[in-house]
Structure 1
Amino acid sequence: MARLPDFEAWAVFASVAESLSFSRAADDLGLSKATVSKAVARLEERLGARLFHRTSRRLALTEAGRAAREDAAALLAAGEAAEARALDANGTPRGRVRLAAPMSFGVAHVAPVLPEFLAAHPQVSVDLHLSDAQVDLVGGGFDLGLRIAALADSSLRVRRLCGVRRSLVATPAYLDRHGRPEHPDDLKRHACLGYAYLPTPDRWHFSDASGTTASVAPEGPLRANNADALAPALRAGLGLAVQPDFTIWDDLGAGRLERVMPDWQPPPIALNLVMPPGLPRPARVSALISFLEGAFAAVPWAQPPLPSPRPSPAAAQART
């Protein structure tokens, strides 16, 4: 008789592969480090291949480990989903929800509201994955993802939570020294702090109320793949940056930053909740969806973005 797959070892491997740490995986799974290590060794013996390169300071996936990582995550997600469906029979949300969110937004706005959700649903746990890079929800085994963008069409299910206004901002001191630009073309003479994960990081796009569009190639002393990394340089008056309101709301209110070129706006974006296709949702996932909808319905920075401008007959050709 063929041996059954070692599902426990696959699940343990999935956790270690995600965290690249035996100790962290042991804590996440509620197991001893020795049990985690033995499970991975058992799987390696069964597969006849090493899954990790191990040194005293670093753990890295081998080629075989990288090939097995997605399958392991899918097996773990399928097992959790099957268990959750069985548990959902009594209607009480329970089990783990895997939620992906952008790094800065997750730390500043998602993590602070989760205690309220967890207190209301003591049998639910949340595995919060923070990264500014767009994760593969299906391949990574995620139940939900928060994305702040104008989303392209995809097979994912999308629920818009709120609009997010973006503005070009700088310190009053910087603007006093270098002048206040009035048109995107003026930015060619200014230091621009760039965010690497914009849809077009090498080109900033703006439009005015008449529908006229303009774009500029930003140049400046700093570009980063995390919005928080730009904040010290921005507040130090080293340049201008396009920032979402949830990042700069307090600085605007305190006068530390000033909106620039208010007649020219970057393309509108929104805070979206994205989900893999397929229904029904487990009760634990539906509970978190409802909670997040309420949590971000009336936050002070959640203003509907400016409507997409409609070109008028008098609109000038875009200046580049």
Structure 2
Amino acid sequence: MDRLTALKVFHRVAELNSFAEAGRSLGLSPAAISKNIAELEAHLGARLINRTTRRMALTEEGRLYLEHVTRGLDALAEADQALCPIKTTPSGTLKVSAPMTVILTRLSAAIPEFLSRYPDLKLDLHLDDRRVDIIRESFDLAIRGSDNLEDSSLIARKLAVMSHVLCAAPSYFEKHGKPETPTDLKAFTSIRFSLSGHADIWEFSKEGRTEQVTVDARYSVSSSLAVRDALRAGFGVSLMPYPYVEDDLREGRLQPALEDWSTVETTLYAVYPSRQHLAPKLRVLLDFLIEEFARDSARPPIFT
């Protein structure tokens, strides 16, 4: 028995005082109407309607049950109506996970303007470099950086591709010189971002040949911002996502090395549970992310 259908049938029969009229109203055959009423009575263990070939009437149990059914169906209708504005207007709370450095270097300044566009929207932003379980932890969306995104039932929308640059402070290069080949890096002090997909091996390519350098770092840390601080302090060299050090390179706090070698790229994705019935709040967030990262990619690099 479809309980909700049976309740609607009972309510309409009582309202119209007719099996035939209820059937026409609901688009069901007389047999279907009778079957729903019989199954509902069997489920309740009580007779709801006395009926003959000429007339019908609610029993005492039927009248009592009708009061509760009417309130229940009205409450369901109100719930549906309450949801209608949410289906069309961005509102409610967005729970989002993202790497701290991505937000602080690329999105943080733009978020207030985004929220000002949608006054009924709230943002609960978790800055964490760990890979959250979106479903279990009830996140609407996560921003993830990955060299290779693992197979998943989640939907992944590509936002940007971040190239990397080997760099250090000018004072460090003045003291130790600049590497001319990746192999030279074995003699340099390395700073390692421990959560990177290429934390242990830095790979460089040039003219069809590839060189890999095993990272034997004196300083390993799980924050890209901490790596950047160590670079600025002249402690050593590191392979950094270009957007994280773009301002430092432009303003001379850091200098690139091995510019004629290409190296790894990391792709940023917006990851979310499903593309079906995408809530307006999630749709506008995706549009915002795509817009902001497209603006970044349109800027020319400092060096080629």
Alpha-carbon spacing, 1:290–1:112, altered in 2? closer, same or farther (3 Å): same
Moved runs in structure 1, 4+ residues, more than 4 A? 82-85, 87-90, 300-304
Question: Structure 2 CA distance, aligned partners of 1:234 and 1:190?
Answer: 13
Count of residue pairs brought into register by the alignment: 222
Question: Structure 2 CA distance, aligned partners of 1:102 and 1:152?
Answer: 17
Question: Structure 2 CA distance, aligned partners of 1:226 and 1:303?
Answer: 26
Alignment of 1:80-99 (within 5 A): 86-88=83-85, 91-99=88-96
Shift of 1:111: 2.5
Alignment of 1:286-301 (within 5 A): 286-299=283-296
Alpha-carbon spacing, 1:174–1:135, altered in 2? closer, same or farther (3 Å): same
TM-score after normalising by structure 1: 0.64
Q: Deviation string for 1:202-260 (max 9, x for gaps)?
A: 2222222x332221112233110001112222111110011112211111001111111
Shift of 1:89: 5.4
1:115 aligns with 2:112: yes
Alpha-carbon spacing, 1:89–1:95, altered in 2? closer, same or farther (3 Å): closer
Alignment of 1:46-85 (within 5 A): none
DSSP 3-state at the match of 2:294: coil
Partner amino acid for 1:136? D
Partner amino acid for 2:178? R
Shift of 1:161: 1.6
Alignment of 1:239-250 (within 5 A): 239-250=236-247
1:206 aligns with 2:204: yes
Residue aligning to 2:57? none
Question: Structure 2 CA distance, aligned partners of 1:136 and 1:225?
Answer: 19
Alpha-carbon spacing, 1:301–1:197, altered in 2? closer, same or farther (3 Å): farther
Partner amino acid for 1:156? L
Shift of 1:302: 6.2
Residue aligning to 2:169? 171
2:153 alignment partner, one of 138, 152, 155: 155
Do the aligned partners of 1:170 and 1:241 also contact (CA within 8 Å) in 2?
Answer: yes
Alpha-carbon spacing, 1:87–1:275, altered in 2? closer, same or farther (3 Å): same
**Structure showing the higher helix proportion among its residues:** 2
DSSP 3-state at the match of 1:97: strand
Shift of 1:87: 4.4
Alpha-carbon spacing, 1:159–1:264, altered in 2? closer, same or farther (3 Å): same
Question: Structure 1 CA distance, aligned partners of 2:111 and 2:81?
Answer: 20
DSSP 3-state at the match of 2:295: coil
Root mean square deviation, CA, Å: 2.3
Question: Structure 2 CA distance, aligned partners of 1:175 and 1:146?
Answer: 34
Question: Structure 2 CA distance, aligned partners of 1:153 and 1:249?
Answer: 32
Residue aligning to 2:216? 219
Q: Deviation string for 1:128-156 (max 9, x for gaps)?
A: 01111111112211111111222233222
Residue aligning to 1:103? 100
DSSP 3-state at the match of 1:176: helix
Shift of 1:288: 0.8
Do the aligned partners of 1:84 and 1:94 also contact (CA within 8 Å) in 2?
Answer: no
Alpha-carbon spacing, 1:89–1:201, altered in 2? closer, same or farther (3 Å): closer
1:196 alignment partner, one of 194, 197, 214: 194
Share of identical aligned residues, percent? 33
Alpha-carbon spacing, 1:211–1:137, altered in 2? closer, same or farther (3 Å): farther
Do the aligned partners of 1:296 and 1:302 also contact (CA within 8 Å) in 2?
Answer: no
Do the aligned partners of 2:101 and 2:225 also contact (CA within 8 Å) in 1?
Answer: yes
Q: Deviation string for 1:58-105 (max 9, x for gaps)?
A: xxxxxxxxxxxxxxxxxxxxxxxx999924455111111111100122
Residue aligning to 1:16? none
Alpha-carbon spacing, 1:303–1:126, altered in 2? closer, same or farther (3 Å): farther
Residue aligning to 1:269? 266
Q: Give the gaps of 5 or more residues in structure 1.
A: 1-81, 305-320
DSSP 3-state at the match of 1:223: strand
Shift of 1:276: 1.6
Do the aligned partners of 1:117 and 1:291 also contact (CA within 8 Å) in 2?
Answer: yes
Higher-Rg structure is: 2
Do the aligned partners of 2:203 and 2:212 also contact (CA within 8 Å) in 1?
Answer: yes
Shift of 1:197: 0.6
DSSP 3-state at the match of 1:111: helix
Question: Structure 2 CA distance, aligned partners of 1:135 and 1:84?
Answer: 34
Alpha-carbon spacing, 1:182–1:198, altered in 2? closer, same or farther (3 Å): same
Residue aligning to 1:38? none
TM-score after normalising by structure 2: 0.67
DSSP 3-state at the match of 1:100: strand
Question: Structure 1 CA distance, aligned partners of 2:173 and 2:80?
Answer: 58
